[in-house]
Amino acid sequence: MDASSWWTFLLVFVRITTFMVTAPLFSGRQLPVQYKIGISVVLSILCFGMVKEPIDTLPQATLVLLILKEFMVGIVLGMVATIFLYAVQWAGAIMDLLIGFSMASLFDPTFGTNTQLTGRFQNILAILVLLATNAHHLLIQGILASFDWITVQAMVPAFMDGRLSTFLLQIVGQMFMIGFMMAAPIIGTLFVVDVALGIIARTVPQMNLFAVFPPIKILIHFLVYIFILPSFFYLLKILFETMFESMHSILKIMGA
């Protein structure tokens, strides 16, 4: 391998590694760093032979710009997938805020942050569905297919003309919408329960509110949550479909 081949391999490795650092499932702290680097090296070796336009001898400044470009491409692709999975955690945070579980938080190794009980439970369900449906294979396929859309020598005008930032804002809006759809049944039910308990508190002021209301809200929360759990998996299906469609769309934008 000559110097140009090593530079081509480095550019491929940078894109795949930054994707592994930001993509869901692979970016979690439960996966050791050695495994992430090992997977990135193996994928880079496999993808290196399929690069259609290896780089020639280029000035050092141009090579630095290409490395920064590969860094940004990998981060953007991984961030698009991660943003959608944040909808699951956001929906759980809303439900825990209304039920009173927000006072208790757990460390979530998937995102490296503190999350509430329901949010952590929904994250586990989402990761299990992701693995059970082999959707992680589609994530790997997406980063490998990016080299067909965005070659290692090509620049990405979408970073500067505003198309990429506009699309990312649309993705954030879709994330909030799907997250609200996941939490809407619990939000509506607990709102009705709060109104009913408020009427009871006004009519029976002798009742100890802090001793009676929290257990009733928790019981109703779990009953409704068990009832709507099948709809959660249906929304996960919509979430994953939207995630992969968005990854395909953003490859079109950056590769145009």
pLDDT in tens, 216-233: 888 888 888 888 888 888
Three-state DSSP state, 45: helix
pLDDT at 105: 62
Task: Choose between 80 and 204: higher pLDDT.
Answer: 80
Residues 69-79 pLDDT 10s: 888 888 888 88
What are the angstrom distances between the C-alpha of 201 and each of 5, 99, 191?
75, 18, 15
pLDDT, the chain, mean: 81
pLDDT band at 103 (very low <50, low <70, confident <90, very high): low
Looking at the chain, the whole-number percentage of residues with pLDDT higher than 70 is: 89
The stretches of 49-59 forming alpha helices (DSSP H) are none
Q: Model confidence over 80-91: pLDDT tens digits? A: 888 888 888 888
Taking only the tens place, the pLDDT of each residue in 112-153 is 556 677 777 888 888 888 888 888 888 888 888 888 888 877
In whole angstroms, what is the distance from residue 110 CA to residue 211 CA? 35
pTM of the full structure:
0.79
**DSSP three-state, residue 186:** helix
Q: Which two tokens stand for residue 233?
A: 């998996």
Q: Give DSSP secondary structure letters for 239-254.
A: HHHHHHHHHHHHHHHH
Domain chopping of the chain, boundaries: 76-255
Plot region of 112 (φ>0 → left; ψ -120 to 50 → alpha; else → beta): left
- What is the average per-residue pLDDT within 39-68? 78
Phi, psi of 170 (to 5 degrees): -65, -35
From residue 228, how far is each of 21, 76, 107, 115, 161 by CA, in Å?
33, 33, 26, 21, 43
In degrees, rounded to 5, the angle at the alpha carbon of residue 48 between the alpha carbons of residues 42 and 49 is: 110
- pLDDT tier at 163, thresholds 50, 70, 90: confident
Is pLDDT above 60 for 170?
yes
Check whether 110 has a pLDDT greater than 60: no
pLDDT of residue 108: 56
